Structure 1
Amino acid sequence: MTARPASPPLPSWLQSAREHWQWRGQARPPFAAQPGPGQLSVWDFPRPPRLAPEPREVRIMWGGVQVARSARTLRVLETAHPPTYYIPWDDVARELLQPAPGGSFCEWKGPARYWSLVRGNKSLPSHAWSYPQPLAGAEALADCVAFYARGLECSVGGLPATPQPGGFYGGWVTPDLAGPFKGDPASEGW
């Protein structure tokens, strides 16, 4: 058996970014809602996040036009966040996406590239993102794209999805989740 080469050590700034989180999914905080029947608590999701196949169909519509439809989606499960759904590019209407300026960096997934949805004279600027060169552990996201739910009709297994609170994070809130969710006021350290 051949041993895998050791990963290079993380830069100190990245290690620090990963270590500062108080909640990591080992225990629910006292303010977490108790999940109801058939619900999952986002406080049981791990940190570092876990990538998991989503067996239900994920669908995104924009003004009656299908943006994406997939039964091969990956979901990212991270403490305090509703799942973020990463759809394979092959299941997305790529002609609706144009590169957008700017980017961001996730301490778990790496550098993000942004995309705008454009159809005729309508647009949703910087409304999708991808990780073309993800960090170790997130390699499966390299050929996928995720979308903010705001301004779109999104569903997971037929359940309607609404945007995660706040304007930055891209999780989708479905009725089968119990929160509270990161993005609400005073949730920066969650």
Structure 2
Amino acid sequence: MNSPTPSPPPWLHEAREQWRWRGQTRPPFADEPGRGQTSVWDFPRPPVLAPEPREVRIVWGGVPVASTTRAVRVLETAHPPTYYVPWADVARHLLHPTPGGSFCEWKGPARHWSLIDGKRQLPSHAWSYPQPLAGAEALAGCVAFYARGLECTVGGLPATPQPGNFYGGWVTPDLAGPFKGEAGSETW
């Protein structure tokens, strides 16, 4: 018999409850999606993890970093998707652990990674969740990358970094925003 999932501790519950927008309705400032686009304001909060069957490719200055049709896509209100690539589909020798980490109220404690190829470095440019929180278990064997400084594509569509320097979503032409990370988006 399975035991019930324990309730999150109060501090985690408070962190999760701070968000006003949760995907049920689009705010008046949301862009209207064009033909073939999806609004990031229709994504839910808490986030949903979904398989991404399109090819996700990451190249760094001509060096292949990752290629997969088995990525996990995280969809969260106001954010472009973040793509988590199975470690088996990553050029693992390019990633080196970075001291420290971070914590996401939905996914748990993150470990950070630097990309290093000879003298070239992109410090703290990837992250993983080796022991994710309940609901994010599919991320345990994966790693995600910031798009800045990399050539990233999803199903052949070019991806650019989510605005700002904190979040790791990838903006593709099939998305309508605005996106979390832009100036004034702190409370979204």
Pairwise CA distance, 1:135: 0.1
Which residue does the alignment assign to 1:55? 53
1-structure distance, mates of 2:78, 2:98: 28
SS at match of 1:118: strand
Pairwise CA distance, 1:36: 0.2
Aligned-pair Cα RMSD in Å: 0.5
Which residue does the alignment assign to 1:109? 107
Pairwise CA distance, 1:9: 1.8
Which residue does the alignment assign to 1:79? 77
SS at match of 1:90: helix
Which residue of the other structure, out of 6, 15, 18, is the alignment partner of 1:17?
Answer: 15
2-structure distance, mates of 1:55, 1:29: 30
Residue correspondence of structure 1 range 82-93 to structure 2 within 5 A: 82-93=80-91
1:89-148 alpha-carbon deviations (Å, 9 max, x no partner): 000000000001121100000000000000000000000000000000000100000000
Gaps of 5+ in 2: none
After TM superposition, which residue ranges in structure 1, 4 or more long, deviate above 2 angstroms?
Answer: none
Pairwise CA distance, 1:188: 1.0
1:131-187 alpha-carbon deviations (Å, 9 max, x no partner): 000000000100000000000000000000000000000000000000000000110
Gaps of 5+ in 1: none
Identity %: 77
Task: Report the TM-score, using the length of structure 2 for normalisation.
Answer: 0.99
Pairwise CA distance, 1:7: 1.2
Task: Report the TM-score, using the length of structure 1 for normalisation.
Answer: 0.98
2-structure distance, mates of 1:139, 1:21: 22
1:24-69 alpha-carbon deviations (Å, 9 max, x no partner): 0000000000000000000000000000001100000001000000
2-structure distance, mates of 1:8, 1:28: 32
1-structure distance, mates of 2:179, 2:65: 26
Which residue of the other structure, out of 4, 7, 12, is the alignment partner of 1:6?
Answer: 4
1-structure distance, mates of 2:109, 2:187: 21
2-structure distance, mates of 1:34, 1:8: 39
The alignment status of 1:171 with 2:173, answered yes or no, reads: no
